Structure 1
Amino acid sequence: MIFAMGVLPMVLLVLGFPIFIVLLSGATLALVVHMNVPLTAIQQNLFGSLNSPGLLAVPYFIFAGELMSRGTVSQRLVDFVGSMVGRVPGSLGVTTVGTATMFGAISGSSAASVASVGKVMQPAMTRDGYPAAFSAGMITSVSAIGIVIPPSIPMIVYGASAEASIPRLYAAGVVPGLILAAALAIYIMIRARAGGFGSGASLSFRRFAQAGLRAAWALGAPVIVLGGIYGGVFSPTEAAAVACAYALVVTRFVYRELGWRDILDAAIGTVFFTAQVLIIIAVAGLFSWILTVNQVPQALVSWIAAQEMTAWQFLLLVNIVLLVVGCFMDPLSAILLLTPLLIPIVEAFGIDKVHFGIVMTLNLAIGLFTPPFGINIFVAQSVLKMRTPDIYRGVLPFFWIFVAVLLLITYLPSITLWGMELFLF
């Protein structure tokens, strides 16, 4: 059993096999060799893992993000945020943070934020004297806020896997996301002042009003979606469908930037990405079922208890493990693989599952821009046309800021709980 569920998956992962092949191979070998159950259990668990109403939100949010990431939405958000920043050190960098935060609230995709925001901001920062590695590292890292600020696809997957409330997860993610954005903006201002670059235009109410009008329809997406969820108007799944319809109307009929062919391309891209997500969810469900049937989570809880580990020590260990895992696995795969193992221990320590979900999401957000396999790095390399070592060097200071905020969120659960109290009334 150890070979089937541990050694074989690790070997296949190192060899570069897709994660669903890794999990399916280990689970199938365990069923055939070690368990006396019919092989129909494979099909039953694969399809049973997808039998969650919350997962219906995934393709809707992906499609809405695909639509809103095309055209001039990112430029409109850049202009709007820039009109509020004014003449401060590192104004373009602060604008990048604000735009990535807003774009994340619209698309829920970190990679889409890197591509869309990077295309607009990198040339502008280059003209304004920003060091190339610094600006590239900034764009690559700050876009990871996109999976912390709701709506977040990893939060939906975690909620389905951990049986946690998705509205509560969304509400809990707002304040940590804003704290993270503020910490990044402060660092950028300090760095820009020390380097003597990046002062923007003076504040102008006329410029702010014009930019606000141009961006109003784009800004309406998170307002409608999150306002509807927190106000009890519709569920997260219904909110995702509303976001889909809203994005279609705005991009096709209001901005008139997308033709029907563009919308079809976005739909095709959504189908492919959704298929990738759902096949991982299905196989991870089978893998988790085998672990549960063989009482692996219970054994892990007993081992933790035998070590006389406290809650804060457990959270520190989890943070270290997740930071390492995030370097090699995408957030969805990591969530699906590790959540069934960790949730029994979380409950044993009396840790709030929603708070733990935010900690887990933030850990894996860091993995999006951490070498060697951070997806944001590869997207930035393609979009910004920069050498990978330069991007690695640029993300390093932002990595430490993310880690500092992670520790703050981990050991002050009141930050996430305050968000739930504030938005869920």
Structure 2
Amino acid sequence: MIASLAVLPVLLLVLGTPVFLVFLAAVAVTFFFVLPLPPVALHQVLFGGLDNYALLAIPFFVFAGELMGTSGIASRLIAWVLAMVGRLPGSLAVSTVGASTVLGAISGSSVAAVAALGKTLYPKLESAGYGKERAAGLLASSGAIDIVIPPSIAMILYGLAAEQSIPRLFMAGILPGMLLALMMCAFVIVMAIVLRIPVVGRFDPAIAWAATRNALAALLMPVFVIGGIYNGWFSPTEAGGFACLYAIVVARFVYRTMSWGDIVRAAGNSAMLSAQILVIVATAGVVTWVLTTQGVPQAIVAWIEALDMSAVTFLLAVNVVLLVIGCFLDPTSAILVFAPLLVPIAISLGIDPIHFGIVMTVNLAIGMFTPPFGLNIFVAQSVTGLPAHSLYRGVLPYVAVQITALIIITYVPALSLALGQAL
């Protein structure tokens, strides 16, 4: 079983096989040659893993993000953030981080944020004096914040895999997400001062008010979604449906930037992306089922207990392992496979599973732009046209910044738990 579930997936990943096929091949070989189970069991577990009401939130939020991303919302948000930061040193770079954070609160899609912001801001960052590598690295790394800021698809999947409250996870992600954004802003401000980059724009109350009016409908979306969940107006899944309806109204009737045909095309694009996510959910669920039924999580827990590992040491080891895994696997795949294995160990060591979920999410968010296979790097490459080795150099300073934030988030649980406990 070790060969089919460990060696075979690594080999297939090295060969460039899509992740869902890696999982499916691994479990198929295990079912047919290792476990004494009929082939029909594979189909039952595969489709049974998708029979979960909470999973409906994923296509809803993907569709809402697609609508907001294709209706010109990004340019309005960028203009609003730039108007707010005024004559701050590095204002254009700060605007990039701020706009990515706000987009994360709308769509929760790191890739979508990098693509949307890259087309608009990369030429401006380059011409402002940041250089191609720094500008592209900033775009790729800022998008990672979107995975942590609620609503987050990664947190929905963690809640399902670890059987934890999705509303509590959403609330827990707010302060860590803000910490990531603030540390990124502090870094780019210092960088702008050191590089003597001229300030772009100025603070003007009239311009700020006009930008706020133009972006108000978009800015209110996360307020309604998150506020509705915590006020008990709707569940996270129903909140996704509300987000879709709200996005359609804003795009079609408020900003009037999308026709009904555009909305239908956005639905088709989001259906494709949702299918890509859910096929990974299905295949990863079979891997988790096999590991659980064979007693692998229990064996790992017993092994950790035998090592007499403290919570501090365990969290350090988890950070190292997940940072490496994040370089090769997307957050969806990594959470679905590793959360069921790691969460029981964390609980046995007295670590709050909500806090542990944020630690996992931040780790895998950093992996989105960490060489060699961070997905955001490839998206930034397609937007900027830079070679991969240039992007690798460009993201390294931002990797260091976010790992520093990760250490704080890991060892200061109050950042993740304070807001949830205040409810």
| Structure-1 residue corresponding to 2:190 | 190
For 2:33 and 2:132, locate their aligned partners in 1 and report how far apart those are by CA, in whole Å.
54
> Which amino acid is the alignment partner of residue 355 of structure 1?
H
For 2:14 and 2:390, locate their aligned partners in 1 and report how far apart those are by CA, in whole Å.
25
SS at match of 1:41: helix
> Which amino acid is the alignment partner of residue 233 of structure 1?
W
Shift of 1:340: 1.4
For 1:142 and 1:28, locate their aligned partners in 2 and report how far apart those are by CA, in whole Å.
38
| Structure-2 residue corresponding to 1:294 | 294
| Structure-2 residue corresponding to 1:10 | 10
Residues 248-277 of structure 1 deviation map (CA, whole Å, 9 limit, x = unaligned): 111122111112222122111111111111
* C-alpha contact 1:92 1:198 (8 A) present in aligned 2: no
* C-alpha contact 2:173 2:358 (8 A) present in aligned 1: yes
* C-alpha contact 1:69 1:112 (8 A) present in aligned 2: yes
> Which amino acid is the alignment partner of residue 347 of structure 1?
I
Shift of 1:130: 2.1
| Structure-2 residue corresponding to 1:216 | 216
1:311 to 2:311 alignment: yes
SS at match of 2:275: helix
For 2:287 and 2:11, locate their aligned partners in 1 and report how far apart those are by CA, in whole Å.
16
> Which amino acid is the alignment partner of residue 161 of structure 1?
A
Judged with a 3 Å threshold, the aligned counterparts in structure 2 of structure 1 residues 266 and 412 are, in CA distance, closer, same or farther, namely: same
For 1:71 and 1:383, locate their aligned partners in 2 and report how far apart those are by CA, in whole Å.
19
* C-alpha contact 1:130 1:198 (8 A) present in aligned 2: no
| Structure-1 residue corresponding to 2:137 | 137
* C-alpha contact 2:372 2:392 (8 A) present in aligned 1: no
| Structure-2 residue corresponding to 1:50 | 50
For 1:384 and 1:8, locate their aligned partners in 2 and report how far apart those are by CA, in whole Å.
35
> Which amino acid is the alignment partner of residue 309 of structure 1?
M
Residues 110-145 of structure 1 deviation map (CA, whole Å, 9 limit, x = unaligned): 111011112221222233222221111111101110
TM-score, structure 1 normalization: 0.97
Residues 300-323 of structure 1 deviation map (CA, whole Å, 9 limit, x = unaligned): 111111111111111111111100
| Structure-2 residue corresponding to 1:147 | 147
For 1:242 and 1:209, locate their aligned partners in 2 and report how far apart those are by CA, in whole Å.
27
| Structure-1 residue corresponding to 2:252 | 252
| Structure-2 residue corresponding to 1:74 | 74
Shift of 1:38: 2.5
* C-alpha contact 2:167 2:230 (8 A) present in aligned 1: yes
For 2:6 and 2:125, locate their aligned partners in 1 and report how far apart those are by CA, in whole Å.
46
Residues 12-55 of structure 1 deviation map (CA, whole Å, 9 limit, x = unaligned): 22222222222222212222222223322212211221122111
Judged with a 3 Å threshold, the aligned counterparts in structure 2 of structure 1 residues 9 and 201 are, in CA distance, closer, same or farther, namely: closer
C-alpha RMSD over aligned residues: 1.2
Q: How does 1:13-24 map to 2 (within 5 A)?
A: 13-24=13-24
Identify the range of structure 1 (262-271 vs 102-111) with the bigger mean alpha-carbon deviation. 262-271
> Which amino acid is the alignment partner of residue 223 of structure 2?
V
1:320 to 2:343 alignment: no
For 1:204 and 1:26, locate their aligned partners in 2 and report how far apart those are by CA, in whole Å.
59
For 1:95 and 1:406, locate their aligned partners in 2 and report how far apart those are by CA, in whole Å.
22
Residues 365-388 of structure 1 deviation map (CA, whole Å, 9 limit, x = unaligned): 011111111111111111122222
Shift of 1:83: 1.2
Residues 335-376 of structure 1 deviation map (CA, whole Å, 9 limit, x = unaligned): 111111112211211211111110001001011111111111
> Which amino acid is the alignment partner of residue 235 of structure 2?
S
| Structure-1 residue corresponding to 2:102 | 102
Identify the range of structure 1 (378-387 vs 353-362) with the bigger mean alpha-carbon deviation. 378-387
For 1:293 and 1:130, locate their aligned partners in 2 and report how far apart those are by CA, in whole Å.
53
After the TM superposition, which segments of 4 or more aligned residues of structure 1 sit over 4 Å from their partners?
Answer: none
> Which amino acid is the alignment partner of residue 298 of structure 1?
Q
- Equivalenced residues, count: 423
SS at match of 1:139: helix
For 1:162 and 1:268, locate their aligned partners in 2 and report how far apart those are by CA, in whole Å.
31
SS at match of 2:106: helix
Shift of 1:180: 0.8
For 1:320 and 1:382, locate their aligned partners in 2 and report how far apart those are by CA, in whole Å.
29
| Structure-1 residue corresponding to 2:415 | 415
| Structure-2 residue corresponding to 1:171 | 171
SS at match of 2:199: coil
Identify the range of structure 1 (32-41 vs 314-323) with the bigger mean alpha-carbon deviation. 32-41
> Which amino acid is the alignment partner of residue 99 of structure 1?
A
For 1:202 and 1:36, locate their aligned partners in 2 and report how far apart those are by CA, in whole Å.
70
Any gaps of 5 or more consecutive residues in structure 1?
none
For 2:394 and 2:11, locate their aligned partners in 1 and report how far apart those are by CA, in whole Å.
32
For 2:380 and 2:35, locate their aligned partners in 1 and report how far apart those are by CA, in whole Å.
45
> Which amino acid is the alignment partner of residue 14 of structure 2?
V
Any gaps of 5 or more consecutive residues in structure 2?
none
Q: How does 1:303-382 map to 2 (within 5 A)?
A: 303-382=303-382
> Which amino acid is the alignment partner of residue 120 of structure 1?
T
> Which amino acid is the alignment partner of residue 259 of structure 1?
S
Q: How does 1:225-304 map to 2 (within 5 A)?
A: 225-304=225-304
* C-alpha contact 2:42 2:286 (8 A) present in aligned 1: yes
For 1:6 and 1:202, locate their aligned partners in 2 and report how far apart those are by CA, in whole Å.
55
| Structure-1 residue corresponding to 2:127 | 127
For 1:90 and 1:181, locate their aligned partners in 2 and report how far apart those are by CA, in whole Å.
14
For 1:271 and 1:182, locate their aligned partners in 2 and report how far apart those are by CA, in whole Å.
34
TM-score, structure 2 normalization: 0.98
For 1:77 and 1:27, locate their aligned partners in 2 and report how far apart those are by CA, in whole Å.
44
SS at match of 2:173: helix
* C-alpha contact 1:91 1:198 (8 A) present in aligned 2: no
* C-alpha contact 1:67 1:266 (8 A) present in aligned 2: yes
* C-alpha contact 1:77 1:102 (8 A) present in aligned 2: yes
